[in-house]
C-alpha cells in the first residue's frame, strides 16, 4: 500500500511508555527509542508521517523523554517540524493526548501509538472523519487475537464493539494504534487523569467511529519476541514506510 502525498494534517505520537514487558531493554531508553537497523523505532513513524506531508508532529513524551528530544530536536534534520508535550507524571494515553492536543490546530488530527507501525494512508483516515463520525481507526488482521483487544464492525464499517481480548490462537481484527480524531473527542475525555484512550474513551464512541482495515504491514514491538523479529529482519518495516535516502 503506497502513501499518497496529499499534504495537510497534524499528528500526535504517544511515545511515553516504558515497556515493562521488555525488561532490561528499556532501562536506558524509552520503548519507542529501541534501535532497528541503526535508527530508533520512533523514527520510522516520523518518516511515515513526513512522506504524507503530515506536520507538525507532536511527540508526547514521558519516561526518559529527554532521549527523544535530544535525538529528534525540532525535526528539521528529518525535513519536518516536531513539537513536544511532556507528561510529567503518567497521564495514561488519553491524558497524554489531551495535553498534547493543545499544540495541535488541525481538526481532525492523527494519533499514533509510538510502539507500533501500521501501513496505512493517513489521509484516508482523516477523510473518514466526516458527518456524524467523531473518529476513524485503523484495524489489522492478526493470526492470534489473544494478545490484543478485538474489534467488531457493523456491515457499513462502523466500530460496533470492543472486546478486552480476541480469540486466543485464532485470527482477529484488532486495533492497529493509528487514529483520526475530531477535537470534540478530546473535550469528551473524562477527568481527572490518568485516562486510557483505548479503555475509557473509544468504547464510549461506538457507532461514531469508522473502522478502516489495513491489509498492509503491521508490527508492535511491545513484546521481546516481536522486537527481536523486526530487529532481525527490518526489511518489511523499511518497505512499509518511506525512508528519505538523503536524510540518513
Q: What percent of the chain has pLDDT over 90?
A: 70
Is residue 7 predicted with pLDDT exceeding 90? no
CA distance 16 to 171: 29
| Cell numbers representing residue 240 in the block | 512499509
Task: Give the residue, 18 or 9, on which the prediction is more confident.
Answer: 9
Task: Give the model confidence (pLDDT) of 164-189 as tens digits.
Answer: 777 788 888 999 999 999 999 999 88
Q: What are phi and psi of 139, to 5 degrees?
A: -120, 150
pLDDT band at 245 (very low <50, low <70, confident <90, very high): low
Task: Give the model confidence (pLDDT) of 28-57 as tens digits.
Answer: 899 999 999 999 999 999 999 999 999 999
pLDDT score of 86: 95
Task: Give strand pairing partners of 138.
Answer: 212
Contact (CB, 8 A) for 117 and 218: yes
CA distance 138 to 224: 24
What's the chain's average pLDDT?
Answer: 89
pLDDT score of 3: 40
Topology (CATH level 3) of domain 11-242: Spore Coat Polysaccharide Biosynthesis Protein SpsA; Chain A (3.90.550)
Which residue carries 499518497 as its cell?
4
The full set of domain ranges for the chain reads: 11-242
Is residue 224 predicted with pLDDT exceeding 70? yes
pLDDT band at 71 (very low <50, low <70, confident <90, very high): very high
Amino acid at each position: 500500500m503506497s502513501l499518497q502525498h496529499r499534504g495537510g494534517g497534524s499528528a500526535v505520537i504517544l511515545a511515553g511508555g516504558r515497556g515493562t514487558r521488555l525488561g532490561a531493554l528499556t532501562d536506558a531508553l524509552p520503548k519507542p527509542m529501541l534501535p532497528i537497523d541503526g535508527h530508533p523505532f520512533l523514527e520510522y513513524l516520523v518518516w511515515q508521517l513526513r512522506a504524507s506531508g503530515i506536520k507538525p508532529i507532536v511527540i508526547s513524551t514521558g519516561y526518559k523523554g529527554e532521549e527523544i528530544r535530544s535525538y529528534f530536536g525540532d525535526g528539521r534534520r528529518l525535513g519536518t517540524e516536531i513539537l513536544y508535550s511532556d507528561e510529567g507524571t503518567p497521564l495514561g494515553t488519553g491524558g497524554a493526548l489531551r495535553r498534547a492536543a493543545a499544540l495541535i490546530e488541525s481538526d481532525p488530527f492523527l494519533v499514533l501509538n509510538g510502539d507500533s507501525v501500521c501501513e496505512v494512508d493517513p489521509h484516508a483516515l482523516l477523510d473518514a472523519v466526516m458527518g456524524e463520525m467523531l473518529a476513524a481507526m485503523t484495524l489489522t488482521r492478526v493470526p492470534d487475537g489473544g494478545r490484543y483487544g478485538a474489534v467488531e464492525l457493523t456491515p457499513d464499517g462502523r466500530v460496533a464493539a470492543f472486546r478486552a481480548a480476541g480469540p486466543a490462537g485464532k485470527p482477529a481484527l484488532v486495533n492497529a494504534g493509528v487514529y483520526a480524531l475530531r477535537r470534540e473527542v478530546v473535550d469528551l475525555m473524562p477527568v481527572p487523569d490518568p485516562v486510557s484512550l483505548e479503555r475509557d474513551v473509544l468504547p464510549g464512541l461506538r457507532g461514531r467511529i469508522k473502522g478502516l482495515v489495513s491489509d498492509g504491514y503491521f508490527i508492535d514491538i511491545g513484546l521481546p519476541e516481536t522486537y527481536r523479529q523486526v530487529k532481525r529482519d527490518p526489511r518489511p518495516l523499511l518497505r512499509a514506510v518511506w525512508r528519505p535516502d538523503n536524510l540518513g
